[in-house]
Structure 1
Amino acid sequence: MSSEGLLNSAERLRAFERRGHDALARSYHEFFAAVTSLATEPLLDAVHLHPGTNLLDVASGPGALAAEAAKRGARAAGVDLSPRMVELAHQLHPGIEYREADVEHLPFLDHMFDAVVCAFGLGHFPQPELAVAECVRTLAPGGRIAFAWWDDPARQRIQGLFREAVAEIGVTVPKDVPQGHDVFRFSDSGEFLRLLNGAGLTAVSVTEHTASFFVPDTETLWRGGLGSLVLTGAVIRYQDQATQDLIRTAFEHRAKVYKSAHGLTLPIAFKIGSGQRST
Protein backbone atom coordinates (compact mmCIF):
# COMPACT_ATOMS: atom_id res chain seq x y z
CA MET A 1 0.00 0.00 0.00
CA SER A 2 1.22 3.52 -0.81
CA SER A 3 2.10 6.00 1.95
CA GLU A 4 -1.07 7.93 1.09
CA GLY A 5 -3.11 4.73 1.33
CA LEU A 6 -1.57 3.88 4.71
CA LEU A 7 -2.37 7.36 5.98
CA ASN A 8 -5.98 7.14 4.80
CA SER A 9 -6.33 3.69 6.37
CA ALA A 10 -4.92 4.97 9.67
CA GLU A 11 -7.26 7.95 9.71
CA ARG A 12 -10.24 5.73 8.94
CA LEU A 13 -9.40 3.41 11.82
CA ARG A 14 -8.79 6.34 14.16
CA ALA A 15 -12.19 7.86 13.32
CA PHE A 16 -13.90 4.49 13.78
CA GLU A 17 -12.27 3.97 17.18
CA ARG A 18 -13.21 7.49 18.31
CA ARG A 19 -16.86 7.09 17.29
CA GLY A 20 -17.09 3.60 18.72
CA HIS A 21 -15.65 4.44 22.13
CA ASP A 22 -17.72 7.63 22.32
CA ALA A 23 -20.86 5.57 21.79
CA LEU A 24 -19.92 2.88 24.31
CA ALA A 25 -18.15 4.94 27.00
CA ARG A 26 -20.72 4.40 29.75
CA SER A 27 -21.46 0.72 29.03
CA TYR A 28 -17.71 0.03 28.70
CA HIS A 29 -17.18 1.50 32.16
CA GLU A 30 -20.05 -0.51 33.63
CA PHE A 31 -18.81 -3.87 32.32
CA PHE A 32 -15.40 -4.00 30.68
CA ALA A 33 -13.42 -1.65 32.93
CA ALA A 34 -13.43 -4.40 35.55
CA VAL A 35 -11.75 -6.72 33.04
CA THR A 36 -9.05 -4.25 32.04
CA SER A 37 -8.37 -3.48 35.71
CA LEU A 38 -6.86 -6.97 36.02
CA ALA A 39 -3.74 -5.45 34.44
CA THR A 40 -3.48 -2.50 36.84
CA GLU A 41 -1.13 -4.11 39.36
CA PRO A 42 1.34 -5.59 36.85
CA LEU A 43 1.41 -2.36 34.83
CA LEU A 44 2.20 -0.21 37.86
CA ASP A 45 4.75 -2.75 39.06
CA ALA A 46 6.42 -2.77 35.63
CA VAL A 47 7.09 1.00 35.79
CA HIS A 48 8.27 0.78 39.42
CA LEU A 49 5.58 3.19 40.60
CA HIS A 50 6.31 5.01 43.85
CA PRO A 51 5.02 8.17 45.56
CA GLY A 52 6.01 11.18 43.50
CA THR A 53 6.24 9.35 40.16
CA ASN A 54 5.08 11.61 37.32
CA LEU A 55 2.91 9.20 35.28
CA LEU A 56 0.98 9.37 32.03
CA ASP A 57 -1.81 6.90 31.27
CA VAL A 58 -2.32 6.61 27.50
CA ALA A 59 -5.72 5.48 26.17
CA SER A 60 -6.98 6.12 29.68
CA GLY A 61 -10.65 5.35 28.97
CA PRO A 62 -12.83 5.94 32.05
CA GLY A 63 -9.68 6.84 33.97
CA ALA A 64 -9.32 4.09 36.57
CA LEU A 65 -5.63 3.31 35.98
CA ALA A 66 -4.49 6.91 36.38
CA ALA A 67 -6.74 7.22 39.43
CA GLU A 68 -5.16 4.15 41.03
CA ALA A 69 -1.68 5.54 40.36
CA ALA A 70 -2.69 8.82 42.00
CA LYS A 71 -4.11 6.93 44.97
CA ARG A 72 -0.64 5.41 45.42
CA GLY A 73 0.99 8.83 45.46
CA ALA A 74 1.83 9.40 41.80
CA ARG A 75 1.24 12.67 39.94
CA ALA A 76 -0.97 11.15 37.28
CA ALA A 77 -2.55 12.38 34.06
CA GLY A 78 -4.48 10.59 31.33
CA VAL A 79 -5.19 11.00 27.63
CA ASP A 80 -7.75 9.35 25.39
CA LEU A 81 -8.88 9.70 21.79
CA SER A 82 -12.57 9.61 22.76
CA PRO A 83 -14.10 12.86 24.06
CA ARG A 84 -16.84 10.91 25.84
CA MET A 85 -14.29 8.75 27.63
CA VAL A 86 -12.44 11.88 28.76
CA GLU A 87 -15.70 13.45 29.94
CA LEU A 88 -16.58 10.28 31.88
CA ALA A 89 -13.09 10.08 33.43
CA HIS A 90 -13.44 13.67 34.68
CA GLN A 91 -16.82 12.81 36.22
CA LEU A 92 -15.51 9.70 37.94
CA HIS A 93 -12.13 11.11 39.03
CA PRO A 94 -12.45 14.91 39.26
CA GLY A 95 -9.07 15.45 40.90
CA ILE A 96 -7.07 14.13 37.94
CA GLU A 97 -6.19 15.81 34.64
CA TYR A 98 -7.53 13.95 31.59
CA ARG A 99 -7.14 15.32 28.06
CA GLU A 100 -8.49 14.39 24.67
CA ALA A 101 -5.49 13.49 22.49
CA ASP A 102 -4.29 11.14 19.80
CA VAL A 103 -1.46 8.89 20.94
CA GLU A 104 0.63 9.91 17.90
CA HIS A 105 0.43 13.58 18.93
CA LEU A 106 0.61 13.82 22.71
CA PRO A 107 0.18 17.35 24.12
CA PHE A 108 3.22 17.16 26.39
CA LEU A 109 6.83 18.30 26.33
CA ASP A 110 9.77 15.96 25.78
CA HIS A 111 11.00 14.01 28.83
CA MET A 112 8.03 15.11 30.95
CA PHE A 113 7.09 11.80 32.61
CA ASP A 114 8.88 9.27 34.79
CA ALA A 115 6.49 6.56 33.66
CA VAL A 116 4.05 5.92 30.82
CA VAL A 117 1.44 3.14 30.99
CA CYS A 118 -1.23 1.94 28.60
CA ALA A 119 -3.91 -0.62 29.44
CA PHE A 120 -5.15 -2.35 26.29
CA GLY A 121 -4.85 0.51 23.83
CA LEU A 122 -1.97 -0.87 21.80
CA GLY A 123 -3.90 -3.07 19.37
CA HIS A 124 -6.28 -0.19 18.61
CA PHE A 125 -3.52 2.17 17.49
CA PRO A 126 -3.46 2.49 13.68
CA GLN A 127 0.32 2.98 13.57
CA PRO A 128 1.75 1.34 16.70
CA GLU A 129 5.41 2.09 15.92
CA LEU A 130 4.63 5.82 15.70
CA ALA A 131 2.47 5.61 18.83
CA VAL A 132 5.19 3.97 20.92
CA ALA A 133 7.83 6.40 19.64
CA GLU A 134 5.62 9.32 20.69
CA CYS A 135 5.13 7.81 24.14
CA VAL A 136 8.88 7.36 24.52
CA ARG A 137 9.40 11.00 23.48
CA THR A 138 7.53 12.14 26.60
CA LEU A 139 9.53 9.79 28.85
CA ALA A 140 12.42 11.12 30.93
CA PRO A 141 15.83 9.44 30.58
CA GLY A 142 15.75 6.37 32.80
CA GLY A 143 11.95 6.41 32.82
CA ARG A 144 9.90 3.27 32.32
CA ILE A 145 7.05 2.38 30.01
CA ALA A 146 4.59 -0.52 30.08
CA PHE A 147 1.79 -1.65 27.76
CA ALA A 148 -0.84 -4.30 28.43
CA TRP A 149 -2.32 -6.20 25.50
CA TRP A 150 -4.52 -9.26 25.17
CA ASP A 151 -3.25 -12.76 24.64
CA ASP A 152 -4.65 -14.90 21.84
CA PRO A 153 -8.50 -15.18 21.92
CA ALA A 154 -8.12 -18.91 22.57
CA ARG A 155 -6.88 -17.90 26.04
CA GLN A 156 -8.70 -14.57 26.36
CA ARG A 157 -12.22 -15.91 26.37
CA ILE A 158 -14.43 -12.83 26.44
CA GLN A 159 -13.25 -11.69 23.01
CA GLY A 160 -12.76 -15.29 21.98
CA LEU A 161 -16.38 -16.34 22.54
CA PHE A 162 -17.74 -13.45 20.49
CA ARG A 163 -15.26 -13.75 17.64
CA GLU A 164 -15.68 -17.53 17.34
CA ALA A 165 -19.47 -17.23 17.27
CA VAL A 166 -19.29 -14.59 14.52
CA ALA A 167 -16.85 -16.73 12.52
CA GLU A 168 -19.03 -19.83 12.86
CA ILE A 169 -22.09 -18.12 11.40
CA GLY A 170 -20.19 -16.17 8.75
CA VAL A 171 -21.37 -12.61 8.29
CA THR A 172 -21.07 -9.56 6.07
CA VAL A 173 -18.81 -6.95 7.66
CA PRO A 174 -20.27 -3.43 7.59
CA LYS A 175 -18.61 -1.04 5.15
CA ASP A 176 -17.68 1.44 7.87
CA VAL A 177 -15.72 -1.17 9.87
CA PRO A 178 -12.04 -0.87 8.89
CA GLN A 179 -10.45 -4.01 7.46
CA GLY A 180 -6.85 -5.14 7.36
CA HIS A 181 -5.72 -3.98 10.81
CA ASP A 182 -4.38 -6.88 12.89
CA VAL A 183 -5.78 -6.18 16.33
CA PHE A 184 -4.05 -9.27 17.75
CA ARG A 185 -0.60 -8.60 16.29
CA PHE A 186 0.85 -8.03 19.75
CA SER A 187 -0.70 -11.15 21.20
CA ASP A 188 2.48 -12.63 19.73
CA SER A 189 5.29 -12.04 22.23
CA GLY A 190 7.86 -11.88 19.45
CA GLU A 191 5.99 -9.03 17.74
CA PHE A 192 5.58 -7.28 21.07
CA LEU A 193 9.32 -7.53 21.78
CA ARG A 194 10.21 -6.29 18.30
CA LEU A 195 7.97 -3.27 18.76
CA LEU A 196 9.59 -2.28 22.07
CA ASN A 197 13.14 -2.98 20.91
CA GLY A 198 12.47 -0.98 17.76
CA ALA A 199 11.60 2.03 19.92
CA GLY A 200 15.13 2.01 21.34
CA LEU A 201 14.13 0.89 24.82
CA THR A 202 16.42 -1.09 27.10
CA ALA A 203 15.61 -3.81 29.64
CA VAL A 204 12.73 -4.89 27.40
CA SER A 205 10.53 -7.78 28.49
CA VAL A 206 7.14 -9.32 27.78
CA THR A 207 5.46 -11.25 30.58
CA GLU A 208 2.33 -13.39 30.42
CA HIS A 209 -0.50 -13.05 32.93
CA THR A 210 -3.63 -15.09 33.55
CA ALA A 211 -6.71 -14.38 35.63
CA SER A 212 -10.43 -15.13 35.62
CA PHE A 213 -13.53 -13.00 35.40
CA PHE A 214 -16.93 -13.92 36.82
CA VAL A 215 -20.29 -13.01 35.29
CA PRO A 216 -23.62 -14.22 36.66
CA ASP A 217 -25.08 -15.41 33.34
CA THR A 218 -24.71 -15.39 29.56
CA GLU A 219 -27.15 -12.47 29.22
CA THR A 220 -24.82 -10.26 31.28
CA LEU A 221 -21.85 -11.38 29.21
CA TRP A 222 -23.64 -10.88 25.89
CA ARG A 223 -24.88 -7.38 26.73
CA GLY A 224 -21.62 -6.45 28.39
CA GLY A 225 -19.57 -7.57 25.41
CA LEU A 226 -21.77 -5.78 22.88
CA GLY A 227 -21.51 -2.66 25.02
CA SER A 228 -17.71 -2.82 25.24
CA LEU A 229 -16.11 -4.44 22.19
CA VAL A 230 -16.14 -1.72 19.55
CA LEU A 231 -15.22 -3.69 16.41
CA THR A 232 -16.95 -7.00 17.20
CA GLY A 233 -20.01 -5.23 18.56
CA ALA A 234 -20.33 -3.17 15.37
CA VAL A 235 -20.18 -6.31 13.24
CA ILE A 236 -22.92 -8.03 15.26
CA ARG A 237 -25.23 -5.00 15.44
CA TYR A 238 -25.02 -4.62 11.64
CA GLN A 239 -26.66 -8.02 11.06
CA ASP A 240 -30.38 -8.58 10.69
CA GLN A 241 -32.21 -10.00 13.69
CA ALA A 242 -32.20 -13.59 12.41
CA THR A 243 -28.41 -13.53 11.97
CA GLN A 244 -27.92 -11.91 15.37
CA ASP A 245 -29.99 -14.72 16.88
CA LEU A 246 -27.79 -17.34 15.20
CA ILE A 247 -24.65 -15.63 16.54
CA ARG A 248 -26.21 -15.50 20.00
CA THR A 249 -26.97 -19.24 19.88
CA ALA A 250 -23.41 -20.07 18.80
CA PHE A 251 -22.10 -17.77 21.54
CA GLU A 252 -24.18 -19.43 24.25
CA HIS A 253 -23.13 -22.89 23.07
CA ARG A 254 -19.46 -21.95 23.50
CA ALA A 255 -20.06 -20.24 26.83
CA LYS A 256 -21.55 -23.39 28.38
CA VAL A 257 -18.12 -24.83 29.08
CA TYR A 258 -17.48 -22.04 31.61
CA LYS A 259 -20.79 -22.40 33.46
CA SER A 260 -21.23 -23.47 37.05
CA ALA A 261 -24.19 -23.39 39.41
CA HIS A 262 -23.37 -19.76 40.24
CA GLY A 263 -22.55 -18.28 36.83
CA LEU A 264 -19.67 -18.23 34.35
CA THR A 265 -15.98 -18.03 35.22
CA LEU A 266 -14.05 -16.94 32.14
CA PRO A 267 -10.30 -17.34 31.61
CA ILE A 268 -8.55 -14.02 30.93
CA ALA A 269 -5.02 -13.78 29.54
CA PHE A 270 -2.90 -10.77 28.68
CA LYS A 271 0.70 -9.68 28.26
CA ILE A 272 2.68 -6.82 29.73
CA GLY A 273 5.42 -5.42 27.53
CA SER A 274 7.80 -3.03 29.24
CA GLY A 275 11.11 -1.25 28.85
CA GLN A 276 13.22 1.67 30.00
CA ARG A 277 14.41 4.76 28.20
CA SER A 278 18.19 4.87 28.16
CA THR A 279 19.82 7.51 30.33
Structure 2
Amino acid sequence: MERDGWGTPSIARNYADGFDMATRLVARKLADAINAGPNTEVLDVCTGHGVVAAELVERGATVTGLDFSEAMISLARDAVRGARFLQGNAMDIGFPDASFGAVTIGFGVPHFPDPVRGLKEAARVLKPGGAIAFSIWHGKGSDGSFGWLFDAVGRLADPSITLPEGPDAHVLADISVARPLVEDAGFANVTLIEVASELTVPSPDALFDVFDAGAVRAASLLRRQPAATRTAIRKDLAKRTQAAGTMGAPGFLVPAPSVVVSAVRS
Protein backbone atom coordinates (compact mmCIF):
# COMPACT_ATOMS: atom_id res chain seq x y z
CA MET A 1 0.00 0.00 0.00
CA GLU A 2 2.75 2.46 0.95
CA ARG A 3 4.88 1.70 -2.09
CA ASP A 4 1.98 1.99 -4.52
CA GLY A 5 0.62 5.11 -2.84
CA TRP A 6 3.79 7.17 -2.63
CA GLY A 7 4.69 6.13 -6.16
CA THR A 8 1.52 7.79 -7.49
CA PRO A 9 2.42 11.19 -9.01
CA SER A 10 -0.79 12.88 -7.85
CA ILE A 11 -0.28 11.80 -4.21
CA ALA A 12 3.37 12.90 -4.32
CA ARG A 13 2.36 16.32 -5.68
CA ASN A 14 -0.51 16.77 -3.22
CA TYR A 15 1.73 15.82 -0.28
CA ALA A 16 4.35 18.33 -1.42
CA ASP A 17 1.69 21.05 -1.64
CA GLY A 18 -0.40 20.18 1.41
CA PHE A 19 2.45 19.61 3.85
CA ASP A 20 4.86 22.17 2.37
CA MET A 21 4.93 24.71 5.21
CA ALA A 22 5.19 22.15 8.00
CA THR A 23 7.91 20.14 6.29
CA ARG A 24 9.95 23.29 5.58
CA LEU A 25 9.77 24.33 9.23
CA VAL A 26 10.93 20.90 10.35
CA ALA A 27 13.67 20.77 7.69
CA ARG A 28 15.36 23.69 9.44
CA LYS A 29 15.34 21.79 12.74
CA LEU A 30 16.79 18.68 11.08
CA ALA A 31 19.58 20.74 9.53
CA ASP A 32 20.28 22.37 12.90
CA ALA A 33 20.40 18.97 14.63
CA ILE A 34 23.21 17.68 12.41
CA ASN A 35 25.04 21.05 12.30
CA ALA A 36 24.76 21.11 8.52
CA GLY A 37 27.34 23.27 6.79
CA PRO A 38 29.86 23.43 3.95
CA ASN A 39 31.91 20.53 5.31
CA THR A 40 28.93 18.20 5.83
CA GLU A 41 28.25 15.29 3.48
CA VAL A 42 24.64 14.27 4.10
CA LEU A 43 22.46 11.38 2.99
CA ASP A 44 18.82 12.49 3.05
CA VAL A 45 16.83 9.26 3.31
CA CYS A 46 13.15 9.34 2.24
CA THR A 47 13.98 12.63 0.58
CA GLY A 48 10.45 12.98 -0.83
CA HIS A 49 9.97 16.18 -2.80
CA GLY A 50 13.36 17.46 -1.62
CA VAL A 51 12.37 19.88 1.11
CA VAL A 52 15.08 18.74 3.57
CA ALA A 53 17.63 18.48 0.78
CA ALA A 54 16.89 22.07 -0.22
CA GLU A 55 17.55 23.31 3.32
CA LEU A 56 20.81 21.34 3.49
CA VAL A 57 22.00 22.66 0.12
CA GLU A 58 21.21 26.21 1.21
CA ARG A 59 23.57 25.70 4.16
CA GLY A 60 26.33 24.53 1.87
CA ALA A 61 26.19 20.80 2.57
CA THR A 62 26.93 18.14 -0.03
CA VAL A 63 23.63 16.27 -0.35
CA THR A 64 22.49 12.93 -1.72
CA GLY A 65 18.74 12.33 -1.60
CA LEU A 66 17.35 8.78 -1.59
CA ASP A 67 13.73 7.69 -2.04
CA PHE A 68 11.96 4.59 -3.39
CA SER A 69 9.35 6.74 -5.16
CA GLU A 70 10.28 7.85 -8.66
CA ALA A 71 7.42 10.36 -8.47
CA MET A 72 9.00 11.98 -5.41
CA ILE A 73 12.50 11.89 -6.92
CA SER A 74 11.15 13.67 -9.99
CA LEU A 75 9.70 16.46 -7.84
CA ALA A 76 12.95 16.77 -5.89
CA ARG A 77 15.08 17.03 -9.02
CA ASP A 78 12.82 19.77 -10.38
CA ALA A 79 12.82 21.71 -7.09
CA VAL A 80 16.41 21.45 -5.86
CA ARG A 81 19.59 22.31 -7.69
CA GLY A 82 22.93 21.34 -6.25
CA ALA A 83 21.95 17.92 -4.85
CA ARG A 84 21.92 14.48 -6.45
CA PHE A 85 18.83 12.32 -6.13
CA LEU A 86 18.69 8.54 -6.45
CA GLN A 87 15.91 5.99 -6.37
CA GLY A 88 16.71 3.41 -3.69
CA ASN A 89 15.67 1.40 -0.66
CA ALA A 90 16.09 2.65 2.91
CA MET A 91 16.19 -0.98 4.08
CA ASP A 92 19.20 -1.68 1.86
CA ILE A 93 21.07 1.56 1.17
CA GLY A 94 23.40 1.05 -1.74
CA PHE A 95 26.46 2.79 -0.31
CA PRO A 96 29.56 1.41 1.41
CA ASP A 97 30.03 1.57 5.18
CA ALA A 98 30.94 4.96 6.66
CA SER A 99 30.13 6.90 3.47
CA PHE A 100 28.48 9.96 5.04
CA GLY A 101 29.02 12.41 7.85
CA ALA A 102 25.31 12.79 8.60
CA VAL A 103 21.91 11.31 7.78
CA THR A 104 18.55 13.09 7.79
CA ILE A 105 15.12 11.47 7.47
CA GLY A 106 12.17 13.84 7.14
CA PHE A 107 9.04 11.99 8.31
CA GLY A 108 10.28 8.79 6.68
CA VAL A 109 10.94 6.45 9.61
CA PRO A 110 7.19 5.79 10.18
CA HIS A 111 7.05 4.38 6.66
CA PHE A 112 9.88 1.90 7.18
CA PRO A 113 8.57 -1.69 7.18
CA ASP A 114 11.14 -2.34 9.92
CA PRO A 115 12.28 0.85 11.74
CA VAL A 116 15.20 -0.80 13.56
CA ARG A 117 16.53 -2.33 10.35
CA GLY A 118 16.23 1.02 8.57
CA LEU A 119 18.02 2.87 11.35
CA LYS A 120 20.75 0.21 11.42
CA GLU A 121 21.27 0.84 7.71
CA ALA A 122 21.56 4.55 8.45
CA ALA A 123 24.14 3.78 11.15
CA ARG A 124 26.07 1.56 8.75
CA VAL A 125 26.56 4.28 6.14
CA LEU A 126 27.49 6.88 8.79
CA LYS A 127 31.04 7.58 9.79
CA PRO A 128 31.78 6.96 13.50
CA GLY A 129 30.46 9.91 15.45
CA GLY A 130 28.28 10.97 12.52
CA ALA A 131 24.91 12.51 13.34
CA ILE A 132 21.41 11.36 12.48
CA ALA A 133 18.22 13.40 12.77
CA PHE A 134 14.71 12.28 11.88
CA SER A 135 11.24 13.75 12.34
CA ILE A 136 7.93 12.21 13.46
CA TRP A 137 4.43 13.72 13.53
CA HIS A 138 2.55 13.65 16.82
CA GLY A 139 -0.45 11.37 16.38
CA LYS A 140 -3.37 10.03 18.37
CA GLY A 141 -4.25 12.17 21.38
CA SER A 142 -2.22 15.18 20.24
CA ASP A 143 -3.70 18.66 19.84
CA GLY A 144 -3.25 19.27 16.15
CA SER A 145 -4.08 18.04 12.67
CA PHE A 146 -3.13 14.38 13.10
CA GLY A 147 -4.69 14.13 16.55
CA TRP A 148 -7.90 15.70 15.27
CA LEU A 149 -8.01 13.25 12.37
CA PHE A 150 -7.53 10.22 14.63
CA ASP A 151 -10.21 11.53 16.98
CA ALA A 152 -12.72 12.15 14.18
CA VAL A 153 -12.07 8.76 12.57
CA GLY A 154 -12.40 7.04 15.96
CA ARG A 155 -15.78 8.64 16.64
CA LEU A 156 -17.30 8.79 13.17
CA ALA A 157 -15.75 6.19 10.85
CA ASP A 158 -16.79 2.62 10.15
CA PRO A 159 -14.70 0.55 12.60
CA SER A 160 -14.65 -2.42 10.22
CA ILE A 161 -12.47 -0.43 7.80
CA THR A 162 -8.88 -0.87 8.97
CA LEU A 163 -5.34 -0.44 7.70
CA PRO A 164 -3.00 -3.32 6.80
CA GLU A 165 -0.54 -4.37 9.48
CA GLY A 166 2.39 -1.98 9.80
CA PRO A 167 4.55 -0.05 12.27
CA ASP A 168 2.89 2.65 14.38
CA ALA A 169 3.46 5.86 12.43
CA HIS A 170 3.70 8.09 15.51
CA VAL A 171 5.03 6.02 18.42
CA LEU A 172 8.60 7.34 18.09
CA ALA A 173 7.36 10.81 19.05
CA ASP A 174 7.62 9.40 22.60
CA ILE A 175 11.24 9.61 23.82
CA SER A 176 10.73 6.60 26.10
CA VAL A 177 10.06 4.52 22.99
CA ALA A 178 12.48 6.29 20.65
CA ARG A 179 15.58 6.19 22.85
CA PRO A 180 15.92 2.39 23.27
CA LEU A 181 15.01 1.72 19.65
CA VAL A 182 17.55 4.22 18.33
CA GLU A 183 20.21 2.94 20.73
CA ASP A 184 19.55 -0.63 19.60
CA ALA A 185 20.21 0.52 16.03
CA GLY A 186 23.73 1.63 16.95
CA PHE A 187 23.39 5.22 18.17
CA ALA A 188 24.12 7.14 21.36
CA ASN A 189 23.27 10.55 22.86
CA VAL A 190 19.64 10.32 21.76
CA THR A 191 17.69 13.55 22.19
CA LEU A 192 14.21 14.70 21.23
CA ILE A 193 12.92 18.23 20.69
CA GLU A 194 9.33 19.34 20.18
CA VAL A 195 8.55 21.32 17.02
CA ALA A 196 5.48 23.55 16.77
CA SER A 197 5.04 22.86 13.06
CA GLU A 198 1.97 24.10 11.19
CA LEU A 199 0.08 23.33 8.00
CA THR A 200 -1.52 25.98 5.88
CA VAL A 201 -4.94 25.40 4.29
CA PRO A 202 -7.01 27.79 2.13
CA SER A 203 -10.20 27.14 4.13
CA PRO A 204 -11.21 25.17 7.24
CA ASP A 205 -12.78 22.29 5.30
CA ALA A 206 -9.60 21.86 3.21
CA LEU A 207 -7.79 20.10 6.06
CA PHE A 208 -9.72 16.95 5.14
CA ASP A 209 -8.36 17.23 1.59
CA VAL A 210 -4.76 17.45 2.80
CA PHE A 211 -5.07 13.94 4.24
CA ASP A 212 -7.46 12.57 1.61
CA ALA A 213 -5.36 13.64 -1.39
CA GLY A 214 -1.81 13.91 -0.07
CA ALA A 215 -1.34 10.96 2.27
CA VAL A 216 -1.42 7.17 1.93
CA ARG A 217 -2.44 5.57 5.22
CA ALA A 218 -4.97 8.24 6.16
CA ALA A 219 -6.34 8.37 2.63
CA SER A 220 -6.77 4.59 2.62
CA LEU A 221 -9.10 4.91 5.60
CA LEU A 222 -10.93 7.99 4.38
CA ARG A 223 -11.55 6.91 0.80
CA ARG A 224 -13.29 3.69 1.81
CA GLN A 225 -15.75 5.44 4.11
CA PRO A 226 -19.36 5.99 2.98
CA ALA A 227 -20.01 9.45 1.53
CA ALA A 228 -22.00 10.56 4.58
CA THR A 229 -19.15 9.53 6.89
CA ARG A 230 -16.60 11.39 4.79
CA THR A 231 -18.76 14.50 4.98
CA ALA A 232 -19.07 14.17 8.75
CA ILE A 233 -15.29 13.83 9.18
CA ARG A 234 -14.71 16.80 6.88
CA LYS A 235 -17.09 18.96 8.95
CA ASP A 236 -15.48 17.80 12.18
CA LEU A 237 -11.99 18.75 11.00
CA ALA A 238 -13.28 22.08 9.69
CA LYS A 239 -14.81 22.86 13.08
CA ARG A 240 -11.52 22.10 14.83
CA THR A 241 -9.61 24.22 12.31
CA GLN A 242 -11.93 27.18 12.87
CA ALA A 243 -11.61 26.83 16.64
CA ALA A 244 -7.86 26.24 16.95
CA GLY A 245 -6.36 27.47 13.69
CA THR A 246 -5.29 31.04 13.06
CA MET A 247 -5.89 33.22 10.03
CA GLY A 248 -2.82 33.63 7.87
CA ALA A 249 -1.96 34.33 4.27
CA PRO A 250 -3.57 32.94 2.18
CA GLY A 251 -5.76 30.90 4.56
CA PHE A 252 -5.57 29.16 7.94
CA LEU A 253 -2.52 28.07 9.90
CA VAL A 254 -3.27 24.73 11.53
CA PRO A 255 -1.11 23.11 14.22
CA ALA A 256 0.66 19.91 13.16
CA PRO A 257 3.06 19.28 16.06
CA SER A 258 6.04 17.03 15.49
CA VAL A 259 9.36 16.06 17.03
CA VAL A 260 12.94 15.81 15.84
CA VAL A 261 14.98 12.90 17.24
CA SER A 262 18.75 13.17 16.93
CA ALA A 263 21.69 10.98 17.90
CA VAL A 264 25.26 10.09 16.94
CA ARG A 265 26.66 6.82 15.67
CA SER A 266 28.22 4.90 18.53
What TM-score do the two structures reach when normalised by structure 2? 0.90
In structure 2, the partner of 1:218 is 204
Contact 1:217 1:264 survives alignment (8 Å): yes
1:275 is aligned to 263
Runs of 4+ in 1 over 6 A off after TM superposition: none
The answer for the alignment partner of 1:168 in structure 2 is: 155
Counterpart pick for 1:74 among 61, 76, 89:
61
Percent same amino acid at aligned positions?
31
Partner secondary structure for residue 236 of structure 1: helix
Counterpart in 2 of 1:20?
5
Amino acid at match of 2:186: G
Measured after TM superposition, the shift of residue 146 of structure 1 is 0.8
The answer as to 2:213 corresponding to 1:227 is yes
Pick one of 245, 248, 257 that aligns with 2:243.
257
Give the conservation status (yes or no) of the 8 Å contact 1:25–1:62.
yes
Q: Is 1:181 aligned with 2:164?
A: no
For residue 88 of structure 1, give the secondary structure of its aligned residue in structure 2: helix
TM-superposed CA distance for 1:252, in Å, is 2.5
Q: 1:94 to 1:49 in 2, by over 3 A?
A: closer
The structural deviation recorded for 1:259 is: 4.7
Secondary structure in 2 aligned to 1:227? helix
Aligned to 2:98: 111
Distance 1:21 1:172 in 2: 25
Tell me how large the CA RMSD over aligned residues is: 2.0
* Deviation (angstroms), 1:242: 2.2
Letter in 2 for 1:130: R
Give the structure 2 partner of residue 10 of structure 1: none
**Match runs of 1:89-128 below 5 Å:** 89-128=76-115
Checking the alignment, whether the CA contact within 8 Å between 2:98 and 2:127 is kept in structure 1 is yes
Quote the Cα distance in structure 2 between the aligned partners of 1:137 and 1:69. 21
Q: Which amino acid aligns with 1:267?
A: P
Number of matched residues? 262
Q: Deviations over 1:82-140 (max 9, x none)?
A: 12111221122254211111211111111000000111111111100000000010001
Q: Deviations over 1:68-95 (max 9, x none)?
A: 2112111101111212111221122254
- Report if aligned partners of 2:187, 2:265 keep a CA contact under 8 Å in 1: yes
For the structure 1 residues 136 and 253, does the alpha-carbon distance in structure 2 shift closer, same or farther, using more than 3 Å as the test? same
Give the superposition deviation at 1:261. Answer: 6.2
Distance in 2, Cα, partners of 1:124 & 1:163 = 18
Unmatched 5+ residue regions in structure 1? 1-15
Distance across 2 between alignment mates of 1:228 and 1:173? 23
1:208-255: CA deviation from partner (whole Å, max 9, x where unpaired): 222444433123322222222211111111123222222223322333
Query: Does the aligned pair in 2 maintain the 1:55–1:116 contact within 8 Å?
Result: yes
Preserved contact between residue 81 and residue 102 of structure 1 (Cα < 8 Å): yes
Is the Cα contact below 8 Å between 1:196 and 1:274 reproduced in 2?
no
TM-score, with length taken from structure 1: 0.86
Unaligned segments of structure 2, at least 5 residues:
none
One-letter code aligned to 1:224: V
